[in-house]
Amino acid sequence: MPHVIVKLWPGKSDTQKQRLADAITQNVTSILGYGDDAVSVAFEEVASADWTEQVFEPDILGKWDQLAKEPGYGPRPGQARS
């Protein structure tokens, strides 16, 4: 029962979010072999000013070894911040 949480900056339209949710659902069902009814997708909007504290530090740096795709921004674990 995959549940996917997408954290993003505010400002994307409901249509954009629905299109992304549909694409995620389609890929999860085709790649992992789950039925459509087994997949859920949620969106959490996080202001850009809060991104480092609420997302980057706990979910990216704090779980670096769990990332399937690393971001192209910010320090890597063990690097000093500029």
Report the predicted TM-score, pTM, of the whole model to 2 decimal places. 0.89
- Find out whether 25 and 36 touch, Cβ atoms under 8 Å: yes
Query: 79 falls in which pLDDT band (50, 70, 90)?
Result: confident
**Residue 38, domain member (yes or no):** yes
Enumerate residues 6+ apart whose C-beta is below 8 A from 22. Answer: none
Q: Which domain holds residue 22?
A: 3-66
Residue 55 C-alpha from the chain's centroid = 9
Task: Indicate the number of domains in the chain.
Answer: 1
> Which CATH number fits the domain that encloses residue 62?
3.30.429.10
CA quadruple 13, 16, 20, 23: dihedral sign: positive
pLDDT of 80 reads 61
Which residues are known to be catalytic?
2
Q: Let me know if residue 80 belongs to a domain.
A: no
> What's the rounded Cα separation, in Å, for the pair 15 and 31?
24
Question: Within a domain: residue 25?
Answer: yes
The chain-wide mean pLDDT, for the chain, equals 95
Is residue 10 domain-resident? Answer: yes
